[in-house]
Structure 1
């Protein structure tokens, strides 16, 4: 696997609406969603060459690799570090941040991760790195009928790469938005309690029936059933936080998911929709929860 420096980054999403306006109107954007899918067959571990990543801003590293699990495509990654830290700073723990439908590795930056990490340092919270990675516009972080598997990319390619760069991947955290919220639940459960320190699922793309699923979320009803996160024992054994706006189209399914867990998770159900403004408002509390 060859790592390629990539210092480009799309401009941070402009959020012009105020929080109060979003609370009343952002739920109209709830139609922009994402769905889930089948479990990936484990891939043989791929040897990693020393990273050639470059830093283009303080406390941020960017780069890319060619992912076998994703069919040989270039896969970008971003690591946001707390102020004053490096990837070698005493084996920083890693939180893997999974983007939503039509998103990419930079989504966690758009949500304000860099500022939130700086706030945690000022508050004296334990430091950790947040890692974003391209998973594909509608991969839903699982194995697809075409053979690609973004979930396997995270577990079998990204995590070993991060370990080779000096981050602590013995136990990792997961967080994700919409499609990525579903993916965080699925991948955290797949790694299990021994390797997953915590999961924060934000506006997770959950469905109560195959008929309700967004296009391309699953390849078939069998695929949807095989990759459901409902009833997974591991999710009652891993520290879990679930956040969802009460005007979000996924709110009913998210409530149903929370109600079936044997161990009640931390939850935040507040007025809001399926949009960047609401996600940015929630982020500081979510990272604080992950830190503790």
Structure 2
């Protein structure tokens, strides 16, 4: 089974990589963003990437919202896939490769055009509590105001890396519980610990009971028949939990090829995730 991989933290938070240049370490057109002052309008970084800073009521702070779409395609009217960053990361992490992979796959007619949306969720939040409230209650309004995701600002699919993988599965569960399931989900190296002893070292949850109530491994059935793709390196620190999740969830696609929990593996897997999600959005 072929395998590609996603991104990591390739740059300072104040700079983004030109979406026309592939490769994590290649610096393209670096444009700074003022992360200390809210921005009223989106800042176009390239033709197919923009960043806007918006104040989140749920999080009580400004957050970056990054919109990425294929080159030469108007993002208005396209289905939207939410992509959640990993621990100690932020929305700008994803700019280093996603816009290029979206464009290449669309131009090669492997996928229909769609938009990838990234927002800041906090460095260690696991996307629960306030960040999840932001995703469910605020992000649709932000999208609708900008003509994205249709009149309701609908998010059609969700994906995530590491901590963001945990969050993506939790988001998909919440949407299913609301009677409004997403069309597909894809997760890379999801941060699925199998014991509270390991999870408690992350200082993310108040106690074991809270973690157990949110842990995707314990709530696989809540996802329903969601089309799901899962990628994890076979030497990843989360491989045990991911394999357990794969056994229970029986995802449509699963890859556990060689790799560790690092940007090299992420960059191999992410283009596959982009294609997987796109394959389920053809009639969204």
User: Normalising by structure 2, what TM-score?
Assistant: 0.80
**Are residues 1:76 and 2:64 paired?**
yes
**Are residues 1:10 and 2:15 paired?**
yes
- Matched residues in 2 for 1:60 and 1:9: separation? 15
Work out whether residues 77 and 133 of structure 1, in 8 Å CA contact, stay in contact via their aligned partners in 2.
Answer: yes
- Matched residues in 2 for 1:15 and 1:60: separation? 16
The DSSP-based 3-state class of the residue aligned with 2:41 is coil
1:120-152 alpha-carbon deviations (Å, 9 max, x no partner): 121222100011110010011001xxxxx1011
- Matched residues in 2 for 1:106 and 1:166: separation? 21
- Matched residues in 2 for 1:107 and 1:253: separation? 25
**Are residues 1:177 and 2:161 paired?**
yes
The DSSP-based 3-state class of the residue aligned with 2:50 is strand
The DSSP-based 3-state class of the residue aligned with 1:274 is coil
Q: Mark the runs of 5 or more structure 2 residues left unpaired by the alignment.
A: 1-12, 26-39, 280-284
Q: Of the two structures, which has the highest relative contact order with CA contacts closer than 8 Å and spacing of 6 or more?
A: 1
Work out whether residues 67 and 117 of structure 2, in 8 Å CA contact, stay in contact via their aligned partners in 1.
Answer: yes
- Matched residues in 1 for 2:43 and 2:148: separation? 16
Work out whether residues 75 and 114 of structure 2, in 8 Å CA contact, stay in contact via their aligned partners in 1.
Answer: no
Work out whether residues 107 and 132 of structure 1, in 8 Å CA contact, stay in contact via their aligned partners in 2.
Answer: no
1:121 corresponds in structure 2 to 106
Offset, 1:15? 4.8
The DSSP-based 3-state class of the residue aligned with 2:66 is strand
Work out whether residues 140 and 154 of structure 2, in 8 Å CA contact, stay in contact via their aligned partners in 1.
Answer: no
- Structure with greater strand percent: 1
2:131 corresponds in structure 1 to 150
Which of residues 167, 183, 189 in structure 2 aligns to 1:197? 183
**Are residues 1:215 and 2:220 paired?**
no
Work out whether residues 16 and 95 of structure 2, in 8 Å CA contact, stay in contact via their aligned partners in 1.
Answer: no
The DSSP-based 3-state class of the residue aligned with 1:260 is helix
- Matched residues in 2 for 1:113 and 1:226: separation? 32
1:241-272 alpha-carbon deviations (Å, 9 max, x no partner): 110000000001110111112x4431011100
Which of residues 265, 268, 271 in structure 2 aligns to 1:281? 268
The DSSP-based 3-state class of the residue aligned with 1:174 is strand
1:136-173 alpha-carbon deviations (Å, 9 max, x no partner): 10011001xxxxx1011111111221122122243521
1:56-102 alpha-carbon deviations (Å, 9 max, x no partner): 311111101111111x21111100111112232xx101111100000
Work out whether residues 16 and 92 of structure 2, in 8 Å CA contact, stay in contact via their aligned partners in 1.
Answer: no
* Structure 2 counterparts to residues 221-240 of structure 1, below 5 A: 221-229=208-216, 230-240=218-228
2:81 corresponds in structure 1 to 95
The DSSP-based 3-state class of the residue aligned with 1:256 is helix
Query: Number of residue pairs matched?
Result: 241
Which of residues 264, 267, 270 in structure 1 aligns to 2:257? 270
Q: Which runs of 4+ in 1 moved over 4 A?
A: 11-16
Offset, 1:290? 0.6
- Matched residues in 2 for 1:210 and 1:118: separation? 41
User: Normalising by structure 1, what TM-score?
Assistant: 0.78
- Matched residues in 1 for 2:155 and 2:67: separation? 17
The DSSP-based 3-state class of the residue aligned with 1:117 is helix
Work out whether residues 80 and 116 of structure 2, in 8 Å CA contact, stay in contact via their aligned partners in 1.
Answer: yes
RMSD, aligned CA: 1.9
2:145 corresponds in structure 1 to 164
**Are residues 1:106 and 2:92 paired?**
yes
The DSSP-based 3-state class of the residue aligned with 1:69 is coil
